[in-house]
Structure 1
Amino acid sequence: MSELVLEPAVRQLEMLRAREISVLELAEAHIRQIERLNPQLNAFADFDAGPVREQARAMDVAPANARGPLHGLPVTVKSSIATAGYKCEIGSLNHRGEIPREDAVVVARLRAAGALILGTTNCPEFLMAYETANLLHGQTRNPWDQERTPGGSSGGESAAIAAGMSAAGLGSDSGGSVRVPAHFTGICSLKPTPGRIPGRGHLPPCVGPFSTLGAIGPMARTMADVELMFRTLSGQDDADPASPPVTLREVKESELRGMRIGFFEDDGLTPVTAETRAAVRAAAAALRDAGFCVEPFRLRTLEPLRKLWWTFFVQCGAMFYEPEVRGGREKLSPIFREFLEIAEKTGPLTSTELLNAWAEMDLLRSKTLEEMREYPVLLCPVASAPAWRHGERNWTIDRQTVAYLDAVRYTQWFNTLGAPAAVVTVGRSPEGLPIGVQITARPFEDEVALGVAGILDRAFGFSPPPMACGS
């Protein structure tokens, strides 16, 4: 059954529609994979096989006219996205045992489309880390190497999908949190333009600067699966001020090939491993072979975008959480205390600094979009290196020390820009770890990013971690 659970989501759905397999049989295959691997990986925050079987039995007898496009597909949801009936504790002792009564808008759409929800997945406390560990559920491990992290903050989600414990799922991303985990575990993901997949019901709410930085995004083993999730779940939420009235668009490959792609192997400040450079070059070559014009190009606004991301994510993030954690640091996980210590070194923002930063963000986004007129698609690394060991916080690359938050700066720019960015696995490290590349398009051109990423995914494809293939 391990072969079945590692099939793409689109293939699993084909088998369900053709009655080659029942929803219950597919659910049982995933339950067995979870029971076999989750004790080692610790990807789930909440899972109970009983309700999953009940859902599956009901779906098997549902009339044909009540079956949506995801009917019977086993999926998971990051435990920061409200999912009625499942623990959504944001990895914090402060929220131990919290079970939402209502679904987030995107989870309601998942259910309406017929998806079979397996459970919720682990995340770092309050989502403020690039690895997944907390005092509530412990440490999540990477299926490629259990001594390494699957990333964060959607690390439980990426580990579950990579290991075949889930066909697809939902994460969220304010600084790379669906992209870094995809890169670390060898799967695909999309950080959409904020609001194209509604964010209402995310915990904590994507408000203030996080309405630009943050987005709920699909994760799966193939870009075809990611695109299916995006097309099924996107659309305006008219009660969400950050959700735009943008309709789905069909973009033909001929139209994509008319767009120039700019690529860069590093940002000129923070080096990347040789294998990461090789992955970007391989992706650029594959796109040229597919008929694209791919040329070296690096945005001049990268470092200002990153500094603004730091202002909003690190400094504002700490300020947002300060009332909740005040006087209770002993209850906080080491990984969140580490985040607070980083923020405290920078210091809190004054009202004038915040106002100036907010104005600067609009001006800087405008300048960046002007640059992207020539190259509306960008190809670059996801991070300086592949998945790191639990607790590692600096690395030597090209004889230069690379610090923790600098290693993942390659995703942060596009949160400040509010642009869609997809990740596809292209290469391998000497240890056999996956290495992804990032494909970014202009805001609201998510279908462009998906289209180009899909071409790359077809050229390289998903490979499962060896532990996922056992019986």
Structure 2
Amino acid sequence: MTYFDKSIRELNQALVAGETSAVALVEEAFARIEATEPEIHAFISLAKDQALEAAKASDDKGYSTDRPLQGIPIGIKDNILTDGIATTAASRMLEDFVPFFDATVIEKLKAAGAIIVGKTNMDEFAMGASSETSYFGPTKNPWNHDYVPGGSSGGSAATVSAGQVFASLGSDTGGSIRQPASFTGIVGMKPTYGRVSRWGVISFASSLDQVGPMTRSVEDNAIMLETIAGHDDKDSTSAELDVPAFSQTYKQGIEGFKVAVPREFFGPGVDEETKTVVETAIKQLEEQGAQVDTVDLPNMAYNIPVYYVIASAEASSNLQRYDGIRYGYRAEDAESLEDLYIKSRSEGFGMEVKRRLMTGTFSIASENIDDYFMQAGKVRTLIKEGFKELFANYDLIVGPVAPSAAYKFGENEKDPVATYQADLLTVPVNLAGLPGLSMPAGFDQNGLPIGIQIIGNYFDEESIYRAAYSLEQVNDASQKHPE
């Protein structure tokens, strides 16, 4: 059977009925990867032998309807540790690093029976928005290979969009799940900070990073999040809350939901095609029973500077460990300890990582920390308060994911600030720690996907899924896939 147009639930039913097997699904996934990977380059490394071994064990165990992920091939972003499979963070610094244990989210997926086929490409250390900064070369957008797939979870988005696997995991620090999901026409969820364990995830910015699922449909996404969510004693930021039955409640509708649409989400910089597509999708939500109001969301102008000060400062701290001594890339021709540090980091990190490390180190230097990092923290609090005031009266906030559809490779190569500004609509969610989802809403004149962003209150992913599923039923963008 061909499974690329099937949902995870449909595949589970086929496995239970004996109409297919995990081995057949994995073999078809690798056949699809072999056919498309030379152009897409969604993966850094593949684990075919391990995947087939796990698939055989899954078939021997047998299937049931209460384990929908068992036997399903998935991809994992290459900054999430996987026992026995190289984890590089798309950097020369970790080119040869093979972990000896799994991240908590991988433990949960394996316990659910999911089959890991490989590690997906990304921007180096998750620093980027186009997957162009990977040491192993860029991933291409399955809809048009001249365009970026977004980032930093570009490989995780592209592999799902291209039909290589059925689901993947990404990480979102400032939009790195939602923006590539928008650019490649899939569903991407950034959960509430603390909903999913970060233990075993290579840190970029610890107060912002969050792992989340990337899938073709809302139902598949709900199944994935339900599987990986939950408290973890190994992660001090993990919330001690029960995991709702996301995969059971997403069909309950949005009759009576109050939806806020911030004017600032449609301000300067958002192109007209994006506005038109998202506004049409918002009207469809209204037709499904939601009450939609236009509102003000203050402090939007500060999101980008606040985000890049905080994220770069935390990156500067987190990446200090890569010094050429303990593990990672080590320069061979160093003449002193200081020379070893300098050469190992200079040669091991790419330009974008070094740019952010320099920015972060500057902002937390003793003579600058009060003027930059501390001030950014205060404004971050104001941004959180702005969202809290809105959620006192509304169930959801909606708007575009990005100012436009995907752009061409090299378009912002000489102007990194232009790339940073494109995160305007996604970084507020990370700064506030809120959950947010991107799903397809339509297409631009070039046939490239445009996504709508649905933001929920803290730990209210259920309402997001209900709205997303309601929209999915009346908006056919999710039904279209790249050739």
Task: Report the TM-score when normalising by structure 1.
Answer: 0.89
Q: Could you tell me how far 1:316 is from its partner in structure 2? A: 3.6
Q: Residues of 2 paired with 1:460 and 1:286: CA distance?
A: 8
Q: Could you tell me how far 1:434 is from its partner in structure 2? A: 0.3
Q: Residues of 1 paired with 2:214 and 2:156: CA distance?
A: 8
Q: Residues of 2 paired with 1:95 and 1:451: CA distance?
A: 40
Residue in 1 that maps onto 2:261: 263
Checking the alignment, whether the CA contact within 8 Å between 1:278 and 1:427 is kept in structure 2 is: no
Deviating more after overlay: 352-361 vs 232-241: 352-361
Residue in 2 that maps onto 1:241: 236
User: Which amino acid in 2 is paired with 1:54?
Assistant: E
Q: Could you tell me how far 1:252 is from its partner in structure 2? A: 7.2
Change (3 A) 1:434 1:32: same
Q: Residues of 2 paired with 1:109 and 1:347: CA distance?
A: 36
User: Which amino acid in 1 is paired with 2:287?
Assistant: D
Q: Residues of 2 paired with 1:460 and 1:389: CA distance?
A: 26
- Pick aligned residue for 1:375 from 394, 406, 418: 394
Change (3 A) 1:255 1:286: closer
Residues matched between the structures, number: 458
- SS in structure 2 opposite 1:410? coil
Q: Residues of 2 paired with 1:21 and 1:394: CA distance?
A: 46
Q: CA RMSD in A?
A: 2.7
Residue in 1 that maps onto 2:408: 389
After superposition, the C-alpha distances for 1:74-97 in whole angstroms (9 at most, x for unaligned) are 111100011112111101111111
Q: Could you tell me how far 1:65 is from its partner in structure 2? A: 7.6
- SS in structure 2 opposite 1:4? coil
Q: Residues of 2 paired with 1:423 and 1:34: CA distance?
A: 25
Residue in 2 that maps onto 1:352: 370
1:11 and 2:10 matched: yes
Q: Residues of 1 paired with 2:153 and 2:421: CA distance?
A: 19
Q: Residues of 1 paired with 2:304 and 2:465: CA distance?
A: 24
Q: Residues of 1 paired with 2:393 and 2:7: CA distance?
A: 35
Checking the alignment, whether the CA contact within 8 Å between 2:182 and 2:438 is kept in structure 1 is: yes
Deviating more after overlay: 226-235 vs 347-356: 347-356
Q: Could you tell me how far 1:15 is from its partner in structure 2? A: 1.7
Which stretches in structure 1 are left out of the alignment for 5+ residues? 396-400
Q: Map residues 294-373 of structure 1 onto 2, 5 A cutoff.
A: 294-318=292-316, 320-321=318-319, 324=322, 327=342, 328-337=345-354, 339=356, 350-353=368-371, 354-373=373-392
Q: Could you tell me how far 1:337 is from its partner in structure 2? A: 4.3
Task: Report the TM-score when normalising by structure 2.
Answer: 0.87
Checking the alignment, whether the CA contact within 8 Å between 1:43 and 1:157 is kept in structure 2 is: yes
1:137 and 2:136 matched: yes
User: Which amino acid in 2 is paired with 1:425?
Assistant: P
Q: Residues of 2 paired with 1:337 and 1:198: CA distance?
A: 27
Change (3 A) 1:122 1:23: same
Which stretches in structure 2 are left out of the alignment for 5+ residues? 324-340
Q: Residues of 2 paired with 1:252 and 1:141: CA distance?
A: 32
Residue in 1 that maps onto 2:217: 222
Identity %: 29
Change (3 A) 1:391 1:340: farther
After superposition, the C-alpha distances for 1:286-310 in whole angstroms (9 at most, x for unaligned) are 1111111112223123233443222
User: Which amino acid in 1 is paired with 2:261?
Assistant: F
Deviating more after overlay: 360-369 vs 81-90: 360-369
Q: Map residues 57-136 of structure 1 onto 2, 5 A cutoff.
A: 57-64=56-63, 68-134=67-133, 136=135
User: Which amino acid in 2 is paired with 1:91?
Assistant: A
Residue in 2 that maps onto 1:398: none
Q: Residues of 1 paired with 2:17 and 2:163: CA distance?
A: 22
Q: Residues of 2 paired with 1:394 and 1:136: CA distance?
A: 15
